[in-house]
C-alpha cells in the first residue's frame, strides 16, 4: 500500500487526499485549520492539525516514512516553499507541489519538487484540446507528444474486428478500451467487432491521434 502525506486541505488538497484514500492508499492529511481537518477526518486514514512549515512537527508525524508528499498550498508561495524544503529535507522519495502560476512553478522546481501541477491551467488546456479536436469527447495529455482520447468509433470501423482494423500497424495507435453506454471493455480482444455507438479509448502520439480523428 502506498502512503501519502498531503499538506494543505483547501479544495485541491482535500479532493486529492480523499481520492487517494478511496483508491486504497494510506493518507495523512495535514492543515493548520482545525475545521478543514475535522471535515476530512472520516475520509482519510489520519488527519491532524499541524503546521507543515515546521520541520520538527513533520518529523514527529513521521513524514519521512511516506512514499510521497503533496504540497497543496496555492495561496502562499512562502508557505509552499517552506513545506517543500521540509519534505525534501526529510527524504521523501517524491514531492508533488501545487502551483498557482508559472512563477510558483519555477521556484518550486528549483527547490527540487519532483512534479508540479497548476490545476486551473491544466484543466483549461485539457478542455481547449478537447473542444478544438474534431469528435473528441475527452483528451488526456500524457506528455507533450502523447495523449489518450475518447473518440466515437468512425463509421468505417463499424462491423470490423480489431484484428481487421490493425490500427497499431496502420495508424500507430493502441486501443486501450471500448466504452458503450455504462459498460467498459478494457483491453478488448482482437476478435472484438466494433459496433455503432462505441466509444474508443485510444493511445498515441499527437500526429497519430490527429490522423484517427480524420477517419
pLDDT of residue 135: 63
Residue 50: which pLDDT band, with cuts at 50, 70 and 90?
very high
Q: In this structure, are residues 100 and 75 in contact, taking their beta carbons and an 8 Å threshold?
A: yes
pLDDT of residue 14: 95
pLDDT of residue 137: 63
Q: Give the domains, in start order, of the chain with CATH numbers.
A: 3-117 (3.40.50.720), 122-213 (3.30.70.1450)
Q: In this structure, are residues 133 and 152 in contact, taking their beta carbons and an 8 Å threshold?
A: no
What's the chain's average pLDDT? 90
Tell me: pLDDT of 213 over 90: no
pLDDT of residue 134: 56
Strand 115-117, strand 199-205: pairing: unpaired
- Residue whose entry in the numeric block shows the C-alpha cell 501541477: 117
Nearest to 51 by CA among 73, 66, 67, 20: 73
Q: What is the mean pLDDT of residues 128-147?
A: 68
Each residue's pLDDT tens digit, 165-199: 999 999 999 999 999 887 889 999 999 999 999 99
- Residue whose entry in the numeric block shows the C-alpha cell 512562502: 78
Tell me: pLDDT of 73 over 70: yes
Q: In this structure, are residues 128 and 122 in contact, taking their beta carbons and an 8 Å threshold?
A: no
On the 0-12 / 13-18 / 19+ scale of CB atoms within 10 A, 104 is buried
Residues counted in the chain = 215
Q: What is the mean pLDDT of residues 119-127?
A: 72
pLDDT of residue 182: 79
Q: What is the mean pLDDT of residues 104-116?
A: 91
Tell me: pLDDT of 136 over 60: no
Tell me: pLDDT of 141 over 80: no
Amino acid at each position: 500500500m502506498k502512503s501519502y502525506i498531503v499538506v494543505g486541505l483547501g479544495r485541491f488538497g482535500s479532493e486529492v487526499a480523499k481520492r487517494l484514500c478511496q483508491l486504497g492508499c494510506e493518507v495523512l492529511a495535514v492543515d493548520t485549520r482545525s475545521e478543514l481537518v475535522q471535515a476530512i477526518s472520516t475520509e482519510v486514514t489520519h488527519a491532524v492539525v499541524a503546521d507543515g512549515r515546521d520541520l520538527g512537527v513533520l518529523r514527529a508525524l513521521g513524514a519521512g516514512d511516506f512514499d510521497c508528499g503533496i504540497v497543496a498550498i496555492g495561496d502562499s508561495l512562502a508557505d509552499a516553499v517552506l513545506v517543500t524544503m521540509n519534505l525534501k529535507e526529510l527524504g521523501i522519495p517524491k514531492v508533488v507541489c501545487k502551483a498557482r502560476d508559472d512563477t510558483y512553478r519555477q521556484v518550486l522546481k528549483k527547490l527540487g519538487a519532483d512534479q508540479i501541477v497548476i490545476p486551473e491551467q491544466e484543466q483549461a488546456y485539457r478542455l481547449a484540446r478537447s473542444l478544438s479536436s474534431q469528435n473528441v469527447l475527452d483528451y488526456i495529455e500524457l506528455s507533450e507528444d502523447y495523449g489518450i482520447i475518447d473518440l466515437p468509433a468512425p463509421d468505417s470501423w463499424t462491423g470490423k474486428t480489431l484484428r481487421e482494423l490493425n490500427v497499431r500497424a496502420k495508424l500507430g495507435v493502441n486501443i486501450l478500451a471500448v466504452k458503450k453506454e455504462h459498460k467498459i471493455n478494457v483491453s478488448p480482444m482482437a476478435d472484438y467487432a466494433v459496433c455503432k455507438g462505441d466509444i474508443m479509448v485510444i493511445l498515441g502520439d499527437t500526429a497519430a491521434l490527429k490522423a484517427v480523428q480524420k477517419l
